[in-house]
Each structure stands twice: as structure tokens, then as C-alpha cells.
Amino acid sequence: MAQKVRATVRPLLVRPGARYTCFGDGLCCTDIHGLGPLTKRELTQIRRIDREGGEYNDDFEDYMLRTAADGGCIFQMPDQRCSVHANHGAEAKPEGCMRFPLGLVATPEGGRITTEHRCPCRTLGDRPELTAEAALPSLLDPAGRPSADDRVKKVKLSAKHKVSFARYREIEDGLLDELAKGADPAEVLEAKPFPKLHKTKWVREALELIDSRDGTAFGAALGWFGDTILKLVDGREPRPPGRPWAAAFDRAEARPGEPRTSREVFNDWIADELWSLGWNDERTLEMARVELATRLAIAQDICERLERLGLRADRSAAEAVTIVELVGESDFWKEIVERM
């Protein structure tokens, strides 16, 4: 009888080369993304600290932390630190705050610790190697056990080809190895960006992204993303739509650390996109490569434009990755990807 495959969180696995610690650059506590959702228990806890601290948000259709006029969380102090953490301890923060930018995916080989890259503490300056010990406290559930965001047992390479996790790992090892050696990430992905869309056009989708700006930092990311699609598929020359995240990257750039090349920043990001397996629920590896190649092309163009504005190469790449990761996580992008 075939043995049942189980996805497990033990042992905890870190991708070789992943580097991160929280320096408090503060970007994660702003309206680059939704600050939540809060569970009922978290909402009660937050309201004990500040009665207006959490509220129902119609856009997210859930309870979220309230933002201040500058788009930052109402609990963010002028020095960017979290007042909930400072005054009530790390455990008083909602789980989403404790966890970001870390995540955990259960696989047949153990729990893969993942990292988001819309975080200058993850992408810029000297950062210590990520270790399971350092990450573990952020990954525990209220009962003190590591809790997985996702579980993966098998991987679909293409529409008709599903393979064991061990077979996928062989393929992934080759890709991660090339990225670590500094190969061109577009060549590693071996996929053509901007495939033909089903029943829509890239220009129409780009204009909708631009129209969806809402005054938040996330809205600005939509503007950059949409503008860049128009440039790449239609030859238009956009004007930069503003960078409300710049102060967090200023702080990150001021930290000690040798500047990296933009390719190092991009390869690190693509490696984590593969490692996180976030695509596996809805996509095949083949589709994931096309989707990633498209966002990579957008990120590389944004990076070049930021470098022309005078920003350092690694910072330009880190800001570009923030933009394409933010939009990549959104329903706007998921709907476009469904049409690829």
C-alpha cells in the first residue's frame, strides 16, 4: 500500500542565504498593506490598550488596526517603534505583527521558514543570517506551537504533471543554485514575461491598476506597477508617481553594510518566491515561472528608473521588489494572473 505523505513543520528549515533581523525600519506598520486582520481576541486586547485601536474595515471586510493620518499604524511612535510592543510586550501585538515578514510552510521534509521582501530590514544593509532559533518565536500559535500558513505535499509542474515533493526539490535545488551563483534571474526562470491575456489586454489592466490608486502607499505601488506595464508593453514614458515608502528605505540605507548589486537583491527575492511555494495552491510551476518573469521584468524596469533618479542600485532594486511583491499579493494581480 502506498505510504501516506504528511506535511510537517518539524524540523524547521531555513533557505541557505536568507538574511534577516528586525531593525525597526517601520515600513511594515504603514499602509503599504492592510494592518490585520485581527481575530476577535486580538481586537478585544487592542481595544483594552486604545478603544479606537481597531475597527471594521469595509475594504478588507474584516477587523483591522486603525491607521493615523500619515498612513502609519495608530500605535506607531514617532521613532517608528511599536508602542504596543514597547509598553505591553511583544506578545500583546496581533499575530500578523509578530509574524511579518516571516512565514512557515509545512512540507514532507519539514517547515520551511519563508520571508517577505516588502521589508527593508529583509532586503537592505548588513543583516545576520536567518536562523530557525531566531525565527521560531514569531512563528508560534497562542498555544506555543509552530503554526503553518500553508501545507504542501505534492507540486504540479504543469497542468498534467504532478510530482512528489522530493522530485520538485531536485528541480528547485538547481534553480536556487543558479540564483546563488549570480545567474541572470530572467534566464533562470526560462519564461517569457507578459503572456497573452485571456479576454483582456495588458494596457487595459494597467490603466485599471492606475485608476485604483487610493492615496495609500499601496495605491502608489499600484501606480508604479501600472505605469511600468504601460511602458513595457506600449512604449509610454511615465512620470514617477511618488514614493511614500522612501523614509523607511532612507533608514535602511543609513544602516552599516556594503551595497549589493541589484541582481543580488533580485536573485534573493526570486529564490524566496520559489522557496515559499506560495504559488503552489493556485498555479503550476510552469505558470509560476511566467508570472514571476513578468513581475521581475516590471521590477527591473522600476529599478532602472529609480537608479536614474540617483538612488543606490541595491536600494532601487529593494524598492522595486517591494512594489512588485505588494501588488503581487493583491487581488488585482491575482485576477490578472488568472487570465494568463
Question: Which residue's CB is nearer to ligand SF4, number 82 or number 220?
Answer: 82
User: Interface with ligand SF4 includes 102 (CB under 6 A)?
Assistant: no
* CA–CA gap between residue 73 and residue 208 (Å, rounded): 28
If you write DSSP's letter for every residue of 25-77 in order, what string do you get?
A: --GGGBTTS---PPPHHHHHHHHHH-TTSEEEETTTTEEEEPB-TTSBBTTB-
Site for ligand SF4 in 2-61 (CB under 6 A): 29, 35
Does residue 270 contact residue 185 with C-beta atoms inside 8 Å? yes
Q: Dihedral angle at the C-alpha atoms of 306, 312, 313, 316, nearest 10 degrees?
A: -40
Span of 69-77, 119-127, 282-290, 325-333 interacting with ligand SF4 by CB under 6 A? 69-77
Name the minimum Å distance from CB 19 to ligand SF4.
21
Applying CB under 6 A, the site for ligand SF4 has a residue count of 11
Site for ligand SF4 in 189-228 (CB under 6 A): none
Name the minimum Å distance from CB 36 to ligand SF4.
9
User: Interface with ligand SF4 includes 84 (CB under 6 A)?
Assistant: yes
Question: Which residue's CB is nearer to ligand SF4, number 97 or number 220?
Answer: 97
* CA–CA gap between residue 303 and residue 310 (Å, rounded): 11
44: its cell numbers: 478585544
User: Interface with ligand SF4 includes 75 (CB under 6 A)?
Assistant: yes
Residue from 13, 65, 104, 189 touching ligand SF4 (CB under 6 A): that is 65
Half-sphere CA count of 141, side-chain side, radius 13 A: 9
Residue from 14, 64, 82, 175 touching ligand SF4 (CB under 6 A): that is 82
Half-sphere CA count of 46, side-chain side, radius 13 A: 25
Residues at the contact surface with ligand SF4, assessed by CB under 6 A: 29, 35, 65, 73, 75-76, 82, 84-85, 93, 97
